[in-house]
Amino acid sequence: MPSASPLSGRHIAVLLGGLSGERPVSLTTGRLCADAVERLGARVTRIDAGRDLPQVLLRERPDAVVNCLHGVWGEDGTVQGVLETLQIPYTHSGVLASALAMDKTKSKAVLKAAGVRVPGGGLFDRHVVAREHVLTPPYVVKPNAEGSSLGVFRVFEGANGPPVEVGRDDWAYGEQVVVEPYIPGRELAVAVLGEPAGPRALAVTDIIAATGFYDFEAKYGEGGSRHVLPADLPAHVTEAAMRMAELAHVALGCRGVTRSDFRYDDLKDDLVLLELNNQPGMTPTSLVPEQAAFVGMDYDQLVLWMVEDASCPR
């Protein structure tokens, strides 16, 4: 007789969509993860998460939740707090780690204290940043608590003025923005699985953006970027990136799957961790499933690992 499906008899809720600007990415991540959970034999409830989420979860009473939300509210500890209150096992990081990882300024402070090399710069009022150069160009401006490269501007050397867009009335990414020196070089990414024996970095991907800058279109648009896996790097750089990603995962108290993004300057042999994503995408162009496949774990196996890793408290 054939063996039972791995998740047979379980009821899994998949949270997708949500309230942030990353809603379209979350819808894709959630759809693909839900399909995988169904193939694994579970009964799946797809929940387009809104502010009535507690009531929906109380009604559905799932055995566990796969959190496929991205951005504010779904990724910053808020939904995690709901799940903790309802005592429902869930994937990815807990309340504190999620809040820390989502706040770029606070996470940089924690990572720096742990010995991880991070960019300089600081947190500034967006109206000041729109009015004058707060750093000498080139520099990068980005929201303090947003993902998927939404609201990110690169100010080039010799630029006539600052990014006026961050001062507009329709700016939707908070009153303070992060301004960091632009770090030249290659865009690298490392996925980490938080296994019981300790975090395990999977591989290093070298991301070559079609536009020369890894923005939203480069991340999610068809042909927006090319991924070189494994990255063609000196052995000591590959090792350093993987160890640094594991250290960042531990320093922020993360659980489940994370992805750390780096810049590597070949000329200076300088590796800097830009940020850690505590709920990375699982879309067709996403880096985590690609790295998992590289080490022999297909999409369904990765999702199964995530579900089996779910717990409460986190």
For position 166, which CATH number holds? 3.30.1490
Which of 181, 203, 219 marks a domain boundary?
A: 181
> Is 132 designated active site?
no
Has residue 83 got a pLDDT over 80?
Answer: yes
C-alpha 280/C-alpha 183 separation (Å) is 22
pLDDT value for 2: 47
Centre a 10 Å sphere on the Cβ of residue 115 and count the other Cβ atoms it contains.
9
Q: Answer yes or no: are the C-beta atoms of 255 and 192 closer than 8 Å.
A: no
What pLDDT does 225 receive?
80
What is residue 213's predicted lDDT score, i.e. its pLDDT?
55
State yes or no: pLDDT of 40 exceeds 70.
yes
CATH number at 189 reads 3.30.470.20
> Are both 104 and 224 inside the same structural domain?
yes
In this predicted structure, what is the pLDDT of residue 223? 59
Torsion over CA: 153, 288, 96, 65 (sign): positive
Catalytic status, residue 60:
no
* Per annotation, catalytic residue among 18, 20, 21, 22: 22
Please, which pLDDT band fits residue 151 given cuts at 50, 70 and 90? confident
Q: How confident is the model at residue 212 (pLDDT cuts 50, 70, 90)?
A: low
Q: How many CB atoms lie within 10 A of CB 234?
A: 11
The predicted model scores a pTM of 0.90
Q: Which residue has the higher pLDDT, 158 or 95?
A: 95
| Statement to judge: residues 76 and 108 lie in one domain | no
Give yes or no for residue 73 having a pLDDT over 90: yes
Please say if 220 is a catalytic residue.
yes
Instruction: Tell me, yes or no, whether 143 and 196 share the same domain.
Output: no
Q: Give residue 221's pLDDT.
A: 54
Assigned domain for 80 exists: yes
Q: In this predicted structure, what is the pLDDT of residue 21? A: 87
Chosen domain end from 181, 201, 217: 181
CA distance 191 to 45: 27
List Cβ neighbours of 257 (8 Å cut-off, separation of 6 or more). 91, 92, 191, 192, 193, 194, 279, 280, 288, 302, 306
Is residue 89 a contact partner of residue 310, using CB atoms and an 8 Å limit? yes
Residues 246 and 104 in one domain: yes
- Is 275 catalytic? The answer is yes
Domain of residue 65, residue span: 11-91
Residues in the chain: 314
Which listed residue (98, 148, 225, 278) is catalytic?
148
Q: Which of 75, 180, 261, 309 is catalytic?
A: 261
Q: Does the active-site annotation cover 148? A: yes
Tell me what pLDDT residue 217 has: 55
Q: Could you confirm whether 90 is annotated as catalytic?
A: no
| C-alpha neighbours within 13 Å on the C-beta side of residue 278 | 33
